[in-house]
Structure 1
Amino acid sequence: MFAAFVALHFYNALFGQFEPLVQRPIFVGFGIGGAFFLYAARTSRTGARSGIERAVDITLGLLAFGVCLYAIVNRDRFSDIMVRYGPLDKAAGLVAVLLTLEAARRVIGWFLPLLALCTVVYFYFGHDLIEGAWRPPRVSARTAVETFYSSTTGLFGYLADIGARVIVIYVLLGALLLSTGATDAFMKMATWIAGRSYGGSAKVCALSSAMFGTVTGSAVANVMATGSITIPTMKRLRYPSAFAGAVEAVASSAGQLTPPVMGAAAFIMAEFLNIPYTDIVIAAIGPAFLYYLAVWLGVDLYARRTELQPTPKSEMPEPAEFLALDKSIPLFLPIAAMVFFLFNGYTPSYAGAGAIIMLVLACVVVRPFSRDGREQGVLACWAKLARDVHGGMVEAGRALVMIAALLACAAIVVKVLTATGAGVKVSNLLFSVSGQGLIVALLLAAVLAILLGMDVPTTASYVLAAAIAAPSLVRLGLPELTAHLFVFYYAILSAITPPVCASVYAAAALAGANFWRVAGRALMLAGAIYVVPFLFVFRPGIMGQGTAGQILLDMGVACAAVFAVSVGTSGWFRGKVPALGRLLFLSAAALLFYAAPTADILGGLALAGLLAWRFLQGAPQPGRAG
């Protein structure tokens, strides 16, 4: 079932989509129905699920398929402006909404489904329950069915469209890269690049998470895939468990910010702003670099303080292990093909489908010439490739269950916000609370994006924050792309911000460490990361905007500011930095944040003076592990 679902969408990417009220219900129906089928196949904490429980889950799954099939069969009638909705139509719409909420609850937790349920109640009953400015218009049962079910809005709106057209293809590409061996190549390449320096294994974790994350676009998936290798390696080399888990959590979360894939939210952003996806890729390069620079510096300073040694030479891979033709061509050729297609005007779905074709063809051609291929024979090699491809398709289908249910649930919230005007009212409230001051509005938007990201994936957090907070930032003069990338960045950071932070939970479980110790260490490592969005708001060169000189200046100043914040928060640079010195480093960073020539000169001179002071202190003294 999962393989057939992704195969259908791969066909659509190459040869064209079905009409909207066919393609989108297929996508949504698979998501909410698949969630119940996956749940039926699981075992409970107390053992195997009973036959009655499994029967209920299977029945709900079939019912989810049924209501979406009903929308497909009746699409022509629903498209008639004079259509009359009978009891069965209304029942199908109600069941579709309820099943969406329950499916989303099962795959992503309570927060978003509960929020969606509150918005539905507000939409349908709010006129009778609420007085004043927040009172929504009166809604009939016919309007509710049209809003949520029988049209290309609500469940089958633009979020389902993005999922069916684009996200399916890139989830499939990532799954196929992993099933054909990309994880091993990523890890060996990262080890060869970063393993020789202080805290080598932790830096390998950061680098491999960046490379791996741009394929998966999922923070928790990134933690589980790379963390299962990097965290045990760090612990074996006597890195503290909390530190190992924190590095993996922080590094993995930015995969969604790392070009060229960037995950589902980036494709949704392109649709929101009606701009080419490549514009978002270009704008994200600078912020992503600064994110990983902050992680790298945080790891390096901690490693030098606690004398975390490089990766042992015996564990360092040879370049041939990841640059051999049978390893490098299937890894790099598809990504290069995807970038070529994207930057030459092809649609994201076609570019992703082209990359998948290049991946499979590359494996078909080069695998027989690998050592295993020569030993097993061509036919056996191709048979294994077929199994790997099928396994990747199945894993992609499983991942898409969560994404489809998530998008359908988020679509309910966004539709209510727009249909009732509540989104505009919340945006106006933020605008008035901020006193029309940009700094206050940015702080409120950042807090809102993090709060909305509690217990939900980044995609949902970004969608909600973009609908509520981004408009108020735009009203204050911020370019739309900058405003959306700002809230997207903090939606990503919600994955590592306590008290509810999915990446930290996953990393703590893998590390066998206390959650709060991992969360605290993650916040220390991510200290400089939380201020990066303010840098690119006031220094647009970081997002690739402006002349070459402006871009170089803004990136150079931003790198210096991130370094100063990292030293100030870690308290270590060529020895322990006293409290006054840490305050001075943070003060220099604050000057560099202010985008003005005078502040740049003063901040640069202050940082240069502080660096001279630290170097004049003599050779660095080792600290103690902690």
Structure 2
Amino acid sequence: MTASKDSIDSSENDINLEEFETKHRDGTWLTRFVFALSIFLAVAHIYINTIGTLPELRISAFHFAGFGALCALLIPANPKWRDSKIALFFDILIVLALIGMVLYIVFFEDALYARGVTFDTSDWIVSSIAVLLSLELIRRTSGWFIPFLILVALTYVVLWGKWIGGPFSFPGLSLETLLYRSFFSTDGMFGSISRISWSFVFMFILFGAFLVKSGAGDFIIALARSLASKMIGGPGFVAVLGSGLMGSVSGSSVANTVSTGVITIPLMRKAGFPARFAAGIEAAASTGGQLMPPIMGAGAFIMASYTQVSYVTIIGVATIPAILYFLSVGFFVRVEAKRQNVTSVEEDGPPISQVLKEGWHNILPLAVLVTLLVQGFTPTYAAGLGILAVIVSSWLSKSHKMGPVAILDAMAQGAKNMSTTAVLLIGIGLVVNVISTTGVGNTFSIMISDWAGGSLFLTLVLVAIASLVLGMGLPVTASYIVLGTLSAPAIFNLIAESQLLEMMSSGNLPQAATAVFMLVDPGAIAQLAQGMPMEQAAALLAQVPADFKGMLMDQALGANNVAMILVTAHMIIFWLSQDSNVTPPVCLTAFAAAAIAKTPPMRTGMMAWKLAKGLYIVPLLMAYTPLIGGDTETLIRLTLFAIFGLYALVAAMEGYLEDKLSIPARILALAASVLMLWPYFDIWLQIVGLVIFLVIFIIGNRSYAKSNALTAS
């Protein structure tokens, strides 16, 4: 198996391990050492996440040192120096420096506090080298942009922040304070992002590596082919289903594209889909892999940390939006299949009974994982038992029984897959520390609100543009962390205030919440009970002091609803952060698919961008409807109308449904889509939109059937 086909990585900068695997078979001392180090890191992290009770700072330092050493030995400082002995010498120096950094924290951290947190020479040297090592390792794995961003952030705190005027002016901190917060405290490199990395992210990446080693990846592709083979445009749906199922345990859109695309793109081309469309579908579907629970490219874990909402709740509310996204991509497949007259390709899909008979045991680990999560066990505990379930279930397989060698290989693969993600998340912790220390996040949120004039829609547009720009240099997870820190408060406030204003204008404000307005305008209390015009409600709300708005929202909206609004804000940002995968000029997922399909990369990127329109439509539904956190009846209604609304939108965009649509029919399809998707229309207008779309569909189906009959005769 090659690394490009079988590796699962939550980073967008996957390590190409093909050369490593070749050297491993040759048995060189370096590859043997890397293999042993990978296994050691896997075992150590399993111990840390199950029965270990070490201080978090020391765990984070060990996490950085271990995976930093892997990166140093696996990824050369320059590809041209891969075989250079001098380069290897410097790589070994980096490894020794990382080991020394961990030992320094273990043995000399207490001495720093005994001196009253006053640096001596060794503190200066070790903390400075640690930050520089972080920059170098990230440069190797992700290029120059992220180290440059970190340097800009760090120098802003100590140097040029006091030179600029306006809201972003910052008086500055001493370099000693900055290095202390960056290295010794739990706010910088070894803060909450690092904790998420060595716990949740690592355990689930290791779980994914075990799944792949046990043959689950082959089972997923076979299952997708069997389910989609008899559908119109079957190979296209294989890409959608396969990428969605693979993404549910992977989380890397690039790795997803490479692992499934080598199978699905040739299948689509063989069936009659244009090459650029086939590559675009694979890129769009693989991008959705980071939206599909349970892993979501590490986003679910970070979101749970930011919002203080349980991981199980996060993946629960993320499921319906993810399904809507994959359906939107599937609608493009069906429409194009109708246009190109692509029918089912039954010989390409094994019978589902055969697939389940041979691979049903691959479902057991996922069932164990989900059951444990639902029962309230921690994600790390569930992932640990899930790994054991993978091993046990593999013994039911005829061809993928996992013995000691396979288990060690899976451990090593999981650790290597984690290495780039670990150093990236730890480095991004430096940026997050600067944002929280300086208050730039609150300032940025206020500025977004001012630029958008209080408009939620314009705010989302600005965040989407910012995510696209950041995504040109940052992987998706890092882009979400930075944007979530900067702009989530703005989106949260706008959504919460819009709901609060509706309650004030309708007279449904709870009695406890009206007491807050006694501080602003006691005479408005009686009018609030009856309801007031929206403009007057907005003016009254604007007078509430900022310190009391949080209490007002909790009392008016309820703590659970407020938590769901916060999750909604972060989920929107997480979704918008994905657009850099499929949006030119930098769209790594589309470029990876183009390489397989042998199509022009930029034109493939434009195709993928068109096919991934769900990335923008579904976040709008999140913002304006209770798609996240709504009651069961509301969710069913929203989901059903959203499905047909997305289908109508695809038909309007493509000018094709069951047959070619005339200009009036396209306009009607667009109108039907707006009626079903626009949140401010009541259910009767949504029903009207649904009827219009069904009429267009039925007429087009009859037209398609007649044209086929004429062709056959």
> What is the TM-score normalised by the length of structure 2?
0.81
Aligned length: 603
Q: Tell me, yes or no, if the aligned pair for 2:583 and 2:606 is still in contact at 8 Å.
A: no
Whether contact under 8 Å (2:578, 2:615) holds in the other structure is no
- State the distance in 1 between where 2:706 and 2:405 align: 54
SS in 2 for 1:153: coil
Give distance in 2, aligned partners of 1:283 and 1:620. Answer: 43
Sort the Cα spacing of 1:117 and 1:187 in 2 relative to 1 into closer, same or farther, 3 A.
same
Please point out which of 33, 36, 43 is paired with 2:72. 36
Unaligned 5+ runs, structure 1: 374-380
Please say if residues 576 and 615 of structure 2, whose CA atoms lie closer than 8 Å, have aligned partners that are also in contact.
no
Residue segments in structure 2 that go unaligned for 5+ positions in a row: 1-36, 497-564, 709-713
Question: Quick check: 1:205–1:248 contact (8 Å CA) kept in 2?
Answer: yes
Give the corresponding residue for 2:128: 94
2:557 is aligned with 1:471:
no
From 214, 221, 230, the equivalent of 2:248 is 214
Q: 1:69 to 1:310 in 2, by over 3 A?
A: farther
Q: In the TM superposition, what is the alpha-carbon distance from 1:616 to its structure 2 partner?
A: 5.8
Q: Determine what percentage of the aligned residue pairs are the same residue.
A: 30
Is residue 356 of structure 1 aligned with residue 387 of structure 2?
yes
Query: Does the alignment pair 1:506 with 2:540?
Result: no
* Cα RMSD (Å): 2.2
Aligned to 1:60: 94
Matched, 1:530 2:616: yes
Secondary structure at the aligned position of 2:661 is classed as coil
2:635 corresponds to which of 551, 562, 568: 551
2:472 equivalent to 1:454: yes
Match of 2:192 among 136, 158, 179: 158
Residues 594 and 244 from structure 1, CA distance in 2 versus in 1: closer, same or farther, beyond 3 angstroms?
Answer: closer
Q: Secondary structure at the match of 2:83?
A: coil
Partners in 1 of 2:379 and 2:120 — Cα distance? 40
Q: Which amino acid aligns with 1:412?
A: L
Matched with 2:662 is 578
Match of 1:72 among 99, 106, 124: 106
Partner of 2:625: 539
Indicate whether 1:485 and 2:571 are aligned. yes
1:40-78 deviation digits (Å, cap 9, x = unpaired): 4x993x585322222223322332333243223323334
Q: Deviations over 1:108-145 (max 9, x none)?
A: 22222221111111111124532343221321122112
Would you say the 8 A contact 1:192–1:319 is kept in 2? yes
Letter in 2 for 1:572: Y
Q: Of 546, 549, 562, which residue of structure 1 is paired with 2:646?
A: 562
| Aligned partner of 2:146 among 112, 136, 152 | 112
- Does the 8 Å CA contact 1:213/1:256 hold for their aligned counterparts? yes
**Which of 606, 611, 622 is residue 692 of structure 2 equivalent to?**
606
Q: Alpha-carbon deviation of 1:613?
A: 4.5
Do the aligned residues in 2 keep the contact of 1:137 with 1:420 (CA within 8 Å)? no
SS in 2 for 1:263: helix
Q: Which residue of 2 aligns with 1:377?
A: none
Name the structure 2 match of 1:427: 445
Alignment check: 8 A CA contact 2:101 2:130 kept: yes
Summarize the Cα distance change of 1:515–1:614 in structure 2 as closer, same or farther, 3 Å threshold: same
Aligned equivalents of 2:324 and 2:706: distance in 1? 26
Q: Which deviates more, 255-264 or 204-213?
A: 255-264
For 2:369 and 2:569, locate their aligned partners in 1 and report how far apart those are by CA, in whole Å: 27
User: 2:529 corresponds to which residue?
Assistant: none
Q: After the TM superposition, list the runs of 4 or more consecutive aligned residues in structure 1 that deviate by more than 6 angstroms.
A: none
Structure 1 CA distance, aligned partners of 2:240 and 2:704?
Answer: 30
Whether 2:336 is the aligned partner of 1:302: answer yes
Corresponding residue for 2:370? 339
Q: In the superposition, relative to structure 1, how do residues 78 and 206 fare at CA in structure 2: closer, same or farther (>3 Å)?
A: farther
Name whichever of 205-214 and 545-554 sits farther off: 545-554
Paired position in structure 1 for 2:603: 517
Range moving further from structure 2, 184-193 or 90-99? 90-99
The question of whether the paired residues in 2 share the 8 Å contact of 1:17 and 1:23 is answered with no
Cross-structure match for 1:376 = none
Task: Find the aligned partners of 1:536 and 1:556 in 2 and give their Cα distance.
Answer: 15
Post-superposition shift, 1:594? 2.1
1:3 aligns with 2:3: no
Residue 360 of structure 2 corresponds to 328
Match of 2:201 in 1: 167
- 2:113 and 2:264 map into 1 onto residues whose CA distance is 53
SS of equivalent to 2:75: helix
Distance 1:530 1:477, change over 3 A: closer
Q: Is the 8 A contact 2:660 2:700 kept in 1?
A: no
Counterpart amino acid of residue 162 in structure 1:
I
Aligned partner of 2:578: which letter? I
Give yes or no for contact 1:574–1:621 (8 Å, CA) kept in 2: no
Q: Which residue of 2 aligns with 1:27?
A: 63
In structure 1, distance between residues paired with 2:163 and 2:610: 46
Distance 2:321 2:479 in 1: 19
